[in-house]
Structure formats: structure tokens, C-alpha cells
Amino acid sequence: MVIVLLAAGFGRRFGGDKLSARLPDGRTVGEASLALARDAWPDVVCVVRPGTGMAQVASAAGVPVIECPEAIDGMGHSLAAGVRATAHAAGWVIALGDMPFLSPATIRAVAEAVASGHGIVAPSHHGERGHPVGFGAALGAELAAVRGDEGARTVLSRHRERLVLLPVDDAGILRDVDRPSDLDGATRAD
């Protein structure tokens, strides 16, 4: 099982590199998201655009970096690059670099559910599905072929009968950083 942290976005709605934006504790959004993934699971990779600050953050943390120049064409390319680079894995938990408010316990629970044999696992909070989403190895070829800005939505829609919702008490699964105002009062809800 590998946690694939997608950190190759452009932050267009944010107005720039949102992963470098500072949280109240002084860490950047990207640093916090990476730390959550590392706290949750021992095997983590970080997908970045070449030459970004996030590549340096991940390298400094000892996390393997996967460069994805095709990220300009959408998140699907980043996701596919991460899965292809870890094709040996028994499954993947796709985490987003702009979600620093998750609990590591949620990421771990998704990974464990996939490791126990569930094909697709997503956390839910009060009935609303969130992130990260885990996929079993049987879906590796489909994930490795994802393109554009759809991310894993096409794989999820083709296999919706395999989706297991994992209820969690973690509102962070629904909270990402898209705009500067998303950082107002930024604290993780554990």
C-alpha cells in the first residue's frame, strides 16, 4: 500500500502556489499535508511538477519525488504518474496536497481498509464522501491510464459498486485549500 500525495497543481483559484501558503503553525500547506501522510503510513510518494518548492519539501523529508511535467494537462496525469511509479504496490491511497486538515488516523483507516481487501474506499463524514480515496491493486492499470482533469472520477464511476464508504469523525476529509479564504481560522479538526 502506497500513499500517493498529489502536489503538482497550479493553484489557479488560489492565485498562485497554494502549497507554499503558511498555516497558523508556520508550516506550509504542502508541508502539513506531507506530514499527515507520513504520520499515517510508512510508504509515501509525492507527485510534483518539475522544479517546484514541493519537490524540495518532499526530498528534504526523505519522501520519494515523482516529477510529472504533464500535470499542466490535469490532475489525472499526476495520479497516473504516481500509480505507474509504484506499480508494485498492493494498492494506493490518493491524497491531495491541499488538504492539511485531515487526521492521520483517517488516512491510515482508508489504507487499512484497502489492504484488507476492499476495492475502493472513501471516508465519509455525516454522509458526505471526502478524501483521500483508496484503490486496490486490481484497479492499478485503470488508474495508470487516467488523463485530464478528472482525477479518479472515471474509475470511481465505472466501479461504483465496489466503493465502500468509511464513516469517520474527521471534517478534514471535506476541507481543502482552493482560495486564500480557506486558510482563515485554519486548524485541523481532530
Residue 186 has pLDDT above 80, yes or no: no
Residue 15 has pLDDT above 90, yes or no: no
Average pLDDT over residues 15-24: 88
Q: How many CB atoms lie within 10 A of CB 2?
A: 23
Residue 184 has pLDDT above 50, yes or no: yes
- Please compute, for residue 54, the number of CA atoms within 13 A of its CA located in the half-sphere on the CB side: 33
pLDDT of the residue at 10: 74
Which are the contacts of 141, defined by CB distance < 8 A and separation ≥ 6? none
> Of 10, 17, 35, whose CA–CA distance to 188 is shortest?
35
**Domain spans of the chain, in order of start:** 2-176
Class of domain 2-176: alpha beta
d(CA 9, CA 149): 10
pLDDT of the residue at 190: 36
- Taking all residues of the chain, what is their mean pLDDT, rounded to a whole number? 93
